């Protein structure tokens, strides 16, 4: 990591549950030696709001990055920021002009209108930037429609309760309206800077295994940071509804096998998750899955629980193969 960095420090343009902003110091402290050299290719298969990606890529300026997430709305937003920033900013400025002058009641109506419109656009096989879907089928929406969808996601993220992204079992965004006095809906400088940051980055939409071949191909040049949905701390504190599909223990096991295969190919990998020992000291789920790798526990404050009393400090787990 360059101490004398003059690079722009770029913050995420979306707030995202499980965002790793506050775990960054612990992550940075454990990065592999030589990560900032020109040869490193960075992979983040569960990118979410990209707190780690944006920090590391602006600090290190990797030769190439690959970011991935199963959430198609998120993909659409990254794609628009990279390829259509001016159009995206213009739509956001229009939304800000529409929303900000209103009183609280009308703001809520405006929010709910956009939420309905956002959900109505979701059901169809669109919004992957006009490119091809993973199934190779041509997308049915024009790039402009996908930029509009991206703008609605950013608008909802800025104006909803707590800046959460949460969907119901049908995949529909269901977060209530928030009460921010002056939300920053159209952050022109941030979107332009983020678009420049993404210029060395390929954006993918799908399951984390989508990146496996590319990681193996890079071998020792690859650094992979994995931040999958948390294994719920308790049965009642479950929060992993970033997508309609849940990430259960079977998925965690599939991920551990992926971790081992990429490790065998020479890649360096770091993974973070909640520590099940927070609530059950006898639960050695991750210790068993990642037996043989470096497993550490670090303190972190968890913010996603809506019950303020449950936002205290807990352990997170950081696993590395180096
Ligand atoms: C804990 S969040 C990542 C947060 C991110 N590190 C940040 O700082 O914002 C986990 C992400 O994994 C995504 N996800 C869930 N299942 C996935 C899968 N099978 N493959 C790839 N991504 C998945 C979710 O959509 C979510 O954005």
Ligand 1 close to Cβ of residue 275 (< 6 A): no
CA 313 to chain centre: 22
Ligand 1 close to Cβ of residue 70 (< 6 A): yes
In angstroms, what is the span from residue 273 Cα to ligand 1's centroid?
11
Q: Which atom of ligand 1 lies at the shortest distance from residue 71's CA?
A: 25
Counting ligand 1 atoms within 8 A of each CB, the residue from 15, 54, 70 with the most, and so the one to mutate, is: 70
Q: What is the dihedral of CA 119, 45, 276, 170, to 10 degrees?
A: 20
Model's pTM, two decimal places? 0.89
Ligand 1 close to Cβ of residue 19 (< 6 A): yes
As annotated, the residues of the chain forming the CATH 1.10.1020.10 domain(s) are 78-189
DSSP letters of 204-256? Answer: EES-GGGGHHHHHHHGGGEEEEE-PPPPPSSSTT----SSSS---HHHHHHHH
Backbone angles phi, psi at 294, to 5 degrees: -80, 120
In angstroms, what is the span from residue 317 Cα to ligand 1's centroid?
16
- Looking at ligand 1, which residue's alpha carbon is closest to its atom 23? 70
Q: 3-70+206-320 domain in CATH 3.90.550.10? A: no
Ligand 1 close to Cβ of residue 129 (< 6 A): no
Question: Token pair for residue 303?
Answer: 């913010």
Q: What does the alpha-carbon distance between residue 132 and residue 295 come to, in Å, rounded to a whole number? A: 39
Q: Which atom of ligand 1 lies at the shortest distance from residue 48's CA?
A: 27
Q: Which atom of ligand 1 lies at the shortest distance from residue 228's CA?
A: 10
Q: What is the CATH number of domain 78-189?
A: 1.10.1020.10
- C-alpha distance from residue 305 to each of 54, 170, 267, 279 (Å): 25, 22, 34, 15
Ligand 1 close to Cβ of residue 210 (< 6 A): no
Ligand 1 close to Cβ of residue 242 (< 6 A): yes
Tens digit of each residue's pLDDT, the chain (322 residues): 543 343 457 999 999 988 888 899 999 999 999 999 889 999 999 999 999 999 999 999 899 999 999 999 999 999 999 999 999 999 999 999 999 999 999 999 999 999 999 999 985 544 443 333 334 444 455 669 999 999 999 999 999 999 889 999 888 999 999 999 999 999 999 999 999 999 999 999 999 999 999 999 999 999 999 999 988 765 554 454 555 558 999 999 999 999 999 999 999 999 999 998 888 889 999 999 999 999 999 988 765 444 544 556 788 999 999 9
As annotated, the residues of the chain forming the CATH 3.40.50.150 domain(s) are 3-70+206-320
In angstroms, what is the span from residue 130 Cα to ligand 1's centroid?
23
Backbone angles phi, psi at 198, to 5 degrees: -75, -5
Counting ligand 1 atoms within 8 A of each CB, the residue from 242, 246, 250 with the most, and so the one to mutate, is: 242
- Looking at ligand 1, which residue's alpha carbon is closest to its atom 8? 19
Q: Which atom of ligand 1 lies at the shortest distance from residue 49's CA?
A: 9
In angstroms, what is the span from residue 229 Cα to ligand 1's centroid?
6
Strand 41-44 relative to strand 294-301, pairing: unpaired
């Amino acid at each position: 990591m360059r101490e004398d960095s003059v690079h722009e420090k770029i913050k995420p343009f979306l707030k995202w549950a499980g965002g790793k902003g506050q775990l960054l110091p612990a992550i940075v402290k454990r990065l592999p030696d030589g990560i900032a050299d020109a040869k490193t290719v960075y992979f983040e298969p569960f990118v979410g709001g990209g707190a780690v990606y944006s920090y590391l890529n602006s600090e290190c300026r990797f030769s190439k990055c690959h970011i991935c997430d199963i959430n198609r709305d998120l993909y659409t937003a990254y794609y628009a920021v990279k390829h259509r920033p001016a159009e995206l900013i213009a739509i956001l400025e229009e939304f800000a002009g529409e929303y900000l002058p209103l009183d609280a009641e009308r703001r809520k109506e405006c929010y709910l209108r956009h939420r309905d419109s956002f959900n109505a656009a979701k059901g169809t096989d669109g919004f992957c930037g006009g490119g091809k879907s993973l199934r190779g089928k041509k997308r049915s929406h024009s790039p402009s429609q996908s930029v509009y969808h991206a703008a609605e996601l950013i608008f909802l993220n800025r104006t909803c309760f707590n800046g959460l992204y949460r969907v119901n079992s049908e995949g529909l965004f269901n977060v209530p309206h928030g009460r921010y006095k002056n939300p920053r809906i159209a952050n022109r400088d941030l979107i332009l800077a983020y678009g420049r940051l993404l210029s060395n980055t390929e954006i993918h939409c799908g399951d984390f295994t989508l990146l496996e071949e590319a990681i193996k191909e890079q071998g020792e040049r690859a650094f992979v940071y994995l931040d999958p949905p948390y294994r719920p701390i308790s049965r009642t504190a479950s929060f992993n509804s970033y997508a309609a599909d849940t990430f259960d223990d079977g998925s965690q096991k599939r991920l551990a096998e992926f971790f081992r295969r990429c490790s065998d190919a020479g890649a360096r990998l770091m993974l973070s998750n909640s520590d099940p020992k927070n609530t059950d000291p006898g639960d050695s789920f991750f210790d068993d899955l990642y037996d043989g790798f470096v497993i550490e526990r670090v303190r972190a404050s968890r913010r996603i629980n809506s019950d303020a009393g449950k936002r205290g400090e807990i352990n997170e787990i950081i696993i590395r193969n180096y």
